[in-house]
Copies of this chain bind each other. A is one copy, B any other.
Amino acid sequence: MIADEAFPVEPWHIRETELRLDLLPQTESLFALSNGHIGLRGNLDEGEPHGLPGTYLNGFYEIRPLPYAEAGFGYPEEGQSIVDVTNGKLIRLLVDDEPFDVRYGELSSHERVLDLRAGTLTRAAEWTSPAGKRVEVHSTRLVSLTQRGLAAIEYVVEAVDDVLLTVQSELVANEDQPPASADPRVAAVLSHPLTPVQHEVSERGAMLIHRTRASELTLAAAMDHVVEAPGRVDLSGDAGQDWARTTVVCGLKAGERLRLVKYLAYGWSSLRSRPALRDQVAAAIAGARYTGWDGLLTAQREYLDEFWDCADVEVDGDADCQQAVRFGLFHVLQASARAERRAIAGKGLTGTGYDGHAFWDTEGFVLPVLTYTAPRAAADALRWRASTLEMARDRAAELDLRGAAFPWRTIHGEECSAYWPAGTAGFHVNADIAMAFDRYRVVTGDESLEKDCGLAVLVDTARLWLSLGHHDRYGRWRIDGVTGPDEYTAVVRDNVFTNLMAAANLRVAADACTRQPDAARALGVDTEETAAWRDAADAVHIPYDEELGVHPQCDGFTTLREWDFDQNTKYPLLLHEPYVRLYPAQVIKQADLVLAMQWQSHAFTPDQKARNVDYYERRTTRDSSLSACTQAVMCAEVGHLELAHDYAYEAALIDLRDLHHNTGDGLHLASLAGSWTALVAGFGGLRDDEGILALDPQLPGGISRLRFRLRWRGFRVTVDADHDAVTYTLRDGPEGVLTIRHSGDPLEINTRKPTRVAVRPKKPLLAPPKQPPGREPLRRWRSTVDASRNSRES
């Protein structure tokens, strides 16, 4: 964990005031810059020390064999792993022949700042070389949100004493990687994945072209420089197969400055020729030189201003959450802004965790946020999914199913999950994808995505469900042998989450076919088929335990053995207990039934929600980072506002506090997105599962005011709530009037003036529940309801 004081709480910055070598892996992830196409971990300019050197290009992966000691039909034979590509961030500095290395000499000050509005990572260091020469180093790094293939670094050295400076700005391929970990969530280590193809040195820079062996992807990286210094400056270039270097040498007197701007361009392709790639990166460099460093900075800020204008969440009274939710939104934007029909990986482009794979996290947790805040990025991500439809159809055929079976984890589109009970059996990913398409249509009002590519996805996921489920002898439509979100109970029957999502998938597919009859017919859909979808959806079996008054997460769940939380206290349990023990017990990794109550809110009564939350809170370990945000939302809905606040804090601070101890492998994008969800869906009450913008603000004691912005069908809506009232402002939009639902009732709001209504306070049905011992969320907020919390307050 990272202590609270590591980063001072500021609304728009993440500031590290001194260099913590023990936290390098974590800060490299936290300070990662990305535009969704290029990702640069926050490695120090000079490359070392480092936790994990990392430069990534979205979709650039290598294939590796997946070994099985006991093979099985349909197991994927090839995995895909994100590649640490040519590192262009490297700028080494020598002060009178002594390398600037923070481990030597004396570092009198060191500050790094991630600026969430500027979109830059700045660094300021005052260093005295072992020989006693003093310099100040200032660097500013950005990955351009406006020029997709471009990153840039401004590197300024100011002499405090008279010095001779040598700056080596580099491109390095096939960097050494740290040794492999035994934790299955960490990536496989690829050793020297890049084969050199070409290297070129130009007047002020260089270019390296490499290629992967098995995936046969070609990558070009180029750098170019602008150098400013008083007096004589020597500029020279050199390159080898795996490296290129531009060397700048100059003498500075005390007070003089050397300024270097490094433009860094990347391009890759599976199809385009080496010359085409070479020209592509050269063009990116030329564009950068034309725009110039200041132009890049300005464009970056303008891009972000526009984003924040419609995405910002203001949290008065809780400065930690304020900072964290912006940090989360910033990284969600970074992961998606210019991904442009590539996947949004579970860790974005911030590390190699989970091999750089995208999961259901994308459609389930990240896209809801983007749909309301940066809908174009959401559409791009959905277009990526749709582009993999043919692979999903092939996979369904391999599984002897109809329609399409999207992969549990992938980079390129093929299934890469090597453990089917928590992979292929997680069929709900297909409904998560389908519902993300539908949410996009409902929220944005934009039907073009569905027309272009969404309908085929809806149809083929519906076909999958119909072939996967069956009607039992009582006419109930059931889905057996699947794994829901909770990976501690797998290969079950009638997982409520899956069944509800599948039914919703079937219904939205049928409705989409009604909207697009010609296109549906072209896909071979007739009214018999859509009727079968609707019938199955209507007959879906949702198990309910009448005696306990709760929904079992899956058939029989509530009569499984209770887990002994007192005897098993090492978390995450998956590293300490075998699946054979976890699966048949009432122990839950992450919100599952509780997530169903958020995403399919209309299917549960308020009393059911209250009892279900109570039941599952007591059995949920939150061993997955996908849980806290959902628990925040549902605890808020049933009136446990303080507990919800605890979970919102956990979701938001997951990486800033390294709560899961693996931030060094990359950020938890879904949880960061979930910090928005915890606030907006939790304390704002946002729901959209009935096609209507439903809100129901309700704040915990620790938040005095919550203000957030949404896009809804061309409108921009601002919701501004305190403990007593909420003000809805319709900033603009096509008609000027919008009917929303406030606390369950219709409410018309308009562009003329804000609408202020009273908060309708909720009375919780039950007292706040306990969690498994040791798995209580960090208690940030005193509660008057549950005195026992105080003992664990931190």
Interface residues of A (CB under 8 A from B): 66-75, 79, 182, 184, 398-401, 417-421, 423-425, 470, 472-473, 478, 480-482, 490-491, 493, 547, 555-556, 559-562, 568, 574-581, 583-585
Contacts and interface: CB of A to CB of B under 8 A. Distances in A.
B70 A577 contact: no
A184 B72 contact: yes
Nearest to A65: B69
A577 B69 contact: no
A227 B342 CA distance: 77
A585 B71 CA distance: 21
Nearest to A421: B421
Contacts of A482: 584
A584 B493 contact: yes
Contacts of A584: 480-482, 491, 493
Contact of A580 (B420, B578, B585): B420
Given A473-B559, A556-B493, A576 B68 contact: no
Contact of A424 (B561, B577, B580): B580
Given A424-B578, A480-B584, A581-B400, A67 B67 contact: yes
Oligomeric state, in copies: 2
A79 to B, nearest CB: 6
A71 B418 CA distance: 9
A556 B559 contact: no
B425 A580 contact: yes
CB-CB nearest 3 A-B residue pairs:
A481-B584, A69-B418, A74-B578
B491 A491 contact: yes
Contact of A419 (B72, B73, B423): B72
Nearest to A473: B559
A73 B574 contact: yes
Contacts of A568: 400
A578 B73 contact: yes
A567 to B, nearest CB: 8
Contacts of A67: 67-69
Nearest to A69: B418
Contacts of A559: 472-473, 478
A568 B399 CA distance: 12
A69 B418 CA distance: 6
Most B C-beta atoms less than 10 A away, residue of A69, A562, A583: A69
Contacts of A419: 69-70, 72
Contacts of A491: 421, 490-491, 580, 583-584
A481 B70 contact: no
B575 A73 contact: yes
A585 B478 CA distance: 12
Contacts of A70: 184, 417-419, 423
Contacts of A480: 560-561, 584-585
A333 B482 CA distance: 45
A491 B581 CA distance: 11
Contacts of A575: 73
Given A478-B559, A480-B561, A583-B481, A182 B577 contact: no
Nearest to A423: B70
Nearest to A494: B556
Given A71-B182, A478-B561, 8 more contacts: A68-B69, A70-B423, A72-B419, A73-B574, A400-B578, A421-B421, A424-B580, A491-B584
Given A67-B68, A583-B491, A584-B480, A73 B577 contact: yes
Contacts of A580: 74, 399, 420, 424-425, 481, 491
B71 A184 contact: yes
A87 B270 CA distance: 52
9 contacts: A74-B580, A399-B581, A400-B581, A425-B580, A481-B585, A490-B491, A493-B560, A493-B584, A556-B556
Contacts of A182: 71
Most B C-beta atoms less than 10 A away, residue of A73, A79, A401, A581: A73
Contacts of A577: 73-74, 400
A580 B70 CA distance: 15
A599 B641 CA distance: 57
Nearest to A71: B184
Nearest to A581: B400
A576 B71 contact: no
A574 B184 CA distance: 27
Contacts of A493: 556, 560, 584
Given A67-B68, A584-B480, A584-B493, A73 B576 contact: yes
A419 B490 CA distance: 15
Given A420-B579, A470-B561, A79 B73 contact: no
A224 to B, nearest CB: 41
Most B C-beta atoms less than 10 A away, residue of A74, A400, A417, A585: A400
